[in-house]
Structure 1
Amino acid sequence: MAKKSEIKLLGTVASPFVNRVQFVLNLKSIEYEYIEENLTCKSELLLTSNPVHKKVPVLIHANKPPICESLIIIEYLDEIKPDVHRILPSDPLERADNRFWANYIDNEFFPLYEEMRVTPGKEGKDAIKNRIIEGSVLLEEAFIKFSRGKTYFGGDDVGYLDVVLGCFIARTKFTEKHNEFKVFDEVRTPRLVEWVKRIWSHEAVKDVIPGNELLVNFYTMLQKYRPARAV
């Protein structure tokens, strides 16, 4: 069992990227010390641990250099504890394919949520909704390919893409509620609708995914510090 101070995670509870790392730490039964950061007044520890981007998550493992960026962190965790709940597939081609879709989720799909938040006017928001819906169909196809008829992207159990996409479930539900549409629905993406239910209730996730009140507070902060564009 790790000592309390051996692994530290700098984060904020409303960040899906921090939640992603917590998800993997829980899956691998790795004990860690969580340090909450105030992103409006960043600590010296965060600024010195991630001097390039100055953002969370940051993993500090004993006396080793800090590790930044959620995808890099979860791969690091997979490598230091490979015998407990392997996250990435062993086949090099499958690993590459998983990384491709992770890149799509992080850099093309999820950023549309923020794009919709800052875009003024119904017409502009509707255009982004359509792009999100198109992306959800691509993700449904990816799920069918990777799951091979089983429960998760990883097959019988949670894998890399389950973690990568699963961390956005709370933000997805929040976005749906505040924009009156469905990202995943029974007609377009029936497999992902069932997958969302399974991830939402997974033991490694239940205490990690932020509740609506936390997301509302985070959304209010965003509205203050990154307001919507002027019409």
Structure 2
Amino acid sequence: MAEELQVFGFWASPFSRRVELALKLKGVEYQHVEEDLPHNKSHLLLQYNPIHKKVPVLVHHGKPISESLVILEYIDEIWKNNPLLPQNPYERALARFWAKYIEDKVVAAMLKAGKAKIEDREKGFEEAGEALEPLEKELGSKRFFGGEKIGFVDVVGIVVAYWVPAIDEAVGIQMLGSNRFPNVKQWSEEVVNHGVVKQILPPKDKLVAYLRTVLSSN
């Protein structure tokens, strides 16, 4: 099946890593196509995702699908084993809500801060930190967002679990490094130490160095 399924991604992108994590959790073989971002995008990536021109793109039987949250739901619908979304309709709606919250609030604030001028960045990361407060309350004492098993929100949230601490280290801030979010911090440790998650995470030192370079260029 690997030759029928491709993931166009970038090693430092949490969005393409989400897709790979979902496939690995389901035991689905795929071919990874590494893109040279941001300035040397392949003609295939531009062909498969002409609107956004970015990773990730999942190509299944020659048909491209873009946007990581959309791809994750597609994967969950096609490969039924080890479901990512809960079976209960209400719990499934909640999972979608929190996944969208992470995307619209936490990730959006992080991207805004990362693109800001250095003198404005501290305020931007403070806003990103504030966006973590509802996640802290929602997690409570749960191991993962869905309970004892890694699921849809956790897959979406790897950007918080792994990339936020890397940003902390790269720019010397304290979003998760403080005691402000103990539940999120504990959850992050559970996620990054998960056997399957470990397979898709980029090396921490390499990621921190990359983020330091990217963030210092603004």
**Fold shared, TM-score > 0.5 on shorter chain:** yes
Give the aligned residue type for 2:54: K
**1:95: how far off?**
1.8
* Residues 106-159 of structure 1: per-residue CA shift (max 9 Å, x gap): 12211222322332354x333223212211211111222xxxx43111111001
Q: Which residue of 2 aligns with 1:217?
A: 210
**TM-score, normalization: structure 2?**
0.90
Distance 1:132 1:57 in 2: 23
Instruction: Say yes or no: does 1:137 pair with 2:133.
Output: yes
**1:219: how far off?**
5.2
Higher helix share: 2
Q: Is the 8 A contact 2:166 2:207 kept in 1?
A: no
Give the aligned residue type for 2:64: P
Q: Which residue of 2 aligns with 1:87?
A: 84
From 99, 103, 128, the counterpart of 1:102: 99
From 140, 151, 154, the counterpart of 1:159: 151
Structure 2 counterpart SS, 1:48:
helix
* Residues 193-222 of structure 1: per-residue CA shift (max 9 Å, x gap): 1111111111111121112214523653x4
Count of residue correspondences:
216
Q: Is the 8 A contact 2:95 2:152 kept in 1?
A: yes
Q: Which residue of 1 aligns with 2:17?
A: 19
From 5, 8, 23, the counterpart of 1:7: 5
Give the aligned residue type for 1:108: K
Q: Percent of counterpart pairs with the same letter?
A: 34
Which segments of structure 1 move beyond 4 Å, counting only runs of 4 or more? Answer: none
Larger Rg: 1
Q: Which consecutive residues of structure 1, in runs of 5 or more, have no partner in the other structure? A: none
Q: Over the residues paired in the alignment, what is the CA RMSD in angstroms?
A: 2.0
Instruction: Say yes or no: does 1:114 pair with 2:106.
Output: no
Instruction: Say yes or no: does 1:204 pair with 2:203.
Output: no
Distance 1:137 1:103 in 2: 15
**1:184: how far off?**
2.5
Give the aligned residue type for 1:62: H
Structure 2 counterpart SS, 1:14:
coil
Distance 1:97 1:138 in 2: 13
Q: Is the 8 A contact 2:162 2:188 kept in 1?
A: no
Q: Which consecutive residues of structure 2, in runs of 5 or more, have no partner in the other structure? A: none
Q: Which residue of 2 aligns with 1:53?
A: 52
